[in-house]
Chains A and B, each alone.
Chain A
Amino acid sequence: MTRSFLGWPAFPEAAEREVGNRQLRENVRRATHTIRGKRAVLAAERPDWEALRDAAAGIKDQVLANLESHLLQVEEKVTAAGGTVHWARDAAEANRIVTDLVRATGEREIVKVKSMLTEEIGLDAALEAAGINARETDLAATIVQLGDDLPSHVVVPALHRNRTEIRDIFVREMGRHGRPAPEGLTDEPAELAEAARLHLREKFLGAKVAVSGANFLVAETGTLVVVESEGNGRMCLTLADTLISVVGIEKTVPSWQDLEVFLQLLARNATGERMAPYTSTWTGLGPSKGADGDGPQTFHLVLVDNGRTRALADPTGRQALRCIRCGACMNICPVYERTGGHAYGSVYPGPIGAILNPLLKGLDDPQTASLPYASTLCGACNEVCPVRIRFTDVLLDLRAQVADGGKHPVERAALGAVGGVMEHQAAWKAAVKSIGLVGPLLLPRKIRLPGPLGGWTDSRTVPAIPRESFRTWWKRTEGDAK
């Protein structure tokens, strides 16, 4: 059975469990710090870095403001180039369309190019239910799939695994799904990569159908773009007879000139490389419409909404749709560093997950409503996002939506106690009460408070209350310290 995030607990609960996992914390800390460092060096290398970020944000905003016309242009161009365009309102519709398309080919085993959208909609599980085995071909995605695990990062889905764990998964699982791991496999990265290469090669050569996502959709020509490091994507995109690309509607950029901006930002910000090793582009079946026998003979593009128009309707939140899934916000996030990605209960973890999931799904579910609070508002993400998403603004706005929704009655009673007459102590006390501090402040040290306040005193003592407040001192001395 394919694992899923369905029914996942709210962030505090899930996070507490993950934080307690020392191995996981060490794996995530190492990985995030490594990518963080590489990114910082490569971003600093470009004198026009800030200007590129401005341009990228501006282009995405312009696309989002005119999404409909850009998408219609995509449809026209893809159709003219021999492809078929499908529109899916939600995950169920998208899964049904893809399942029907694969069924029509009669194939039972297909290959996939790593795609967060297909993870978001749970495509693998839907295909599995229809008796179709979809095999991942990206190394990290393969590790997650073989381990019957869930992705924890948008660029490196197996970021939470170290190489020893990966070796064990390969040894245990590869044989059950095809070519087994070589005898005596060690946890040397080169050996692990070779084992994956051998295992996957069989899949590429045998597959007649491939499913991909896309990093960008160039509207002026209807061209799809996949950016990757390993070349597995290129193999799937060119070897299969039938190619089905499932793409979120926000992936559109107007022109190739606009694409240039994103290609300069993406690899540097995502993996700390000057350029991604493989950038594949294709337009329908190409000018020959597949008549030359080269590449796929059938191409389908499934355009997916699944909450994106809902996010678009949120004036502050819509900037989350600028995201190009570079992963930099999770790599820099001190919360993600301690919890890993699974705590966010979604394939989109970290800062972008904390805002995007509530925007896509709404705030009615306690799990999504907990996400805007999964941040200290430290603002580190604001500084690395290539499309200048102001996470802190969106988080605060979503918190206001949660607060207005009356989801926290106790907290509202405390913080809502701002009367017409502004009595200093009252407002302050209300504030501290809301964060559970007023209790500890009045209590002796080394005590554990009951209920929701216990967490604070688990790891800290609280300061003693001074005998004289500042304002009493001022009244007494008029500020004369001597």
Chain B
Amino acid sequence: MPPNDPGPRTALFVTCLNDTLFPGTGRATVTLLRRLGVEVDFPPAQSCCGQMHFNTGYRKETAKLARHFVDTFGGYDRIVVPSASCAGMPAEAYPQAAVGDPGLAREVAELAPRVVELTEYLTDRLGVVEVGAYFPHRVTYHPTCHSLRATRLGERPYRLLRAVSGIDFVELPAQDECCGFGGTFSVKNPAVSGAMNGDKARHVLETGVSVLAAVDNSCLMNIGGRLNRDGHPVRTLHLVEILARTEQDGPMPGLPVVEGAR
């Protein structure tokens, strides 16, 4: 890189769910990326990616949100997203929402490859697996459907988690089964959704962990809501909130510390 090159311009698309309900995920993303030497910008004009609109069938509204996304993030080289399902929107949904608007379709096609899910950004673009994290707790990981079958994150989140110092990582039984959230599905079909979620929560409990991690807070909200309702103390955390913690921070308050962890 030439001495005066400021490097790629990197933006954080925090997602509307994280902004409002899980700001800790956004803060952890900023903390982690700074530690790794990446300055992210937060364009305040950003809004909702339109996933719920698109998944419920509202394509014209999705197109408006796609237009806004392109206008907000068009000037950046990288757009990092701490949510696998939202990160997939520009590549998977926007082209369909932009049918009939060739201008938008062109801009979407140009922008989509620059939008990247956080763990993929870490392992593939920054080339790091060991991020200097310390988390002396027992953790399991739920690969959310989108991260598993659409974004296809594969081993990336597991590699990142296993490299965390002090962690006691346990595999989740039947991990590739859907948690039953599905956005609009959980409201239109609450009984089925609840049955699926109940099975997922049971598998989490089988692991004996104190933390369930994932890369989509929507699914964690679903599973965590069930665990909480049933009175189980398992915490749900976006994976980045684990990666952001260091030895200086010490163990996470309120969580049992794993035997033998430094």
Contact = CB atoms under 8 A, between A and B. Distances in A.
Nearest to B46: A424
Given A396-B55, A399-B56, A422-B45, A459 B192 contact: no
A435 B187 contact: yes
Given A402-B57, A416-B58, A427-B47, A466 B21 contact: yes
Interface in A141-175: none
B40 A479 contact: yes
B75 interface: no
Given A19-B191, A20-B191, A431-B16, A375 B185 contact: yes
B68 A422 contact: yes
Nearest to A379: B149
A481 interface: yes
A430 B48 CA distance: 10
A416 B47 contact: no
B16 to A, nearest CB: 4
Contacts of B17: 428
A11 interface: yes
Contacts of A398: 57
Contacts of B210: none
Contacts of A424: 16, 19, 45-48
Contacts, number: 220
Contacts of A376: 145, 178, 180-182, 185, 193, 196
Contact of B48 (A19, A373, A378, A431): A431
Contacts of A434: 52-53, 56, 184
B31 A481 contact: yes
15 contacts: A19-B195, A376-B178, A396-B96, A399-B55, A415-B52, A422-B45, A424-B19, A428-B17, A431-B53, A434-B184, A435-B56, A437-B187, A466-B23, A470-B26, A481-B30
Interface in B121-137: none
B225 A463 contact: yes
Contacts of A364: none
A97 interface: no
Given A378-B182, A463-B224, 11 more contacts: A25-B195, A378-B178, A379-B145, A380-B178, A415-B56, A424-B16, A446-B229, A455-B190, A466-B23, A469-B23, A473-B26
A193 interface: no
Interface string A447-474: 0000011111011111101101111011
Contacts of B27: 470, 473, 481
B4 to A, nearest CB: 23
A380 B178 CA distance: 9
A436 to B, nearest CB: 4
Given A15-B192, A479-B30, A459 B47 contact: no
A99 to B, nearest CB: 39
Nearest to B39: A479
Interface string B147-189: 0011000000000000000000000000011101111111111
Contacts of A404: 57
Nearest to A373: B188
A147 to B, nearest CB: 24
Contacts of B18: 470
B50 interface: yes
Contacts of A474: 26, 30, 42, 44
B114 interface: no
B56 A465 contact: no
Interface of A: 11-12, 15-16, 19-20, 25, 334-335, 338-339, 370, 372-380, 382-383, 396, 398-404, 411-412, 415-416, 418, 420, 422-428, 430-432, 434-437, 441, 445-446, 452-456, 458-463, 465-466, 468-471, 473-475, 479, 481
Contacts of A426: 47
B198 interface: yes
Contact of B190 (A372, A456, A462): A456
B83 interface: no
A359 to B, nearest CB: 15
Contact of A441 (B21, B53, B198): B21
Contacts of B177: 334
A432 B185 CA distance: 13
Contacts of A475: 44
Given A399-B55, A470-B14, A380 B188 contact: no
Contact of A459 (B19, B20, B46, B229): B229
Nearest to A427: B48
B235 to A, nearest CB: 12
A129 B186 CA distance: 42
A378 B21 contact: no
B162 to A, nearest CB: 25
A460 B57 contact: no
A382 B149 contact: yes
Contact of A461 (B51, B53, B225): B225
A399 B14 CA distance: 27
A186 B146 CA distance: 46
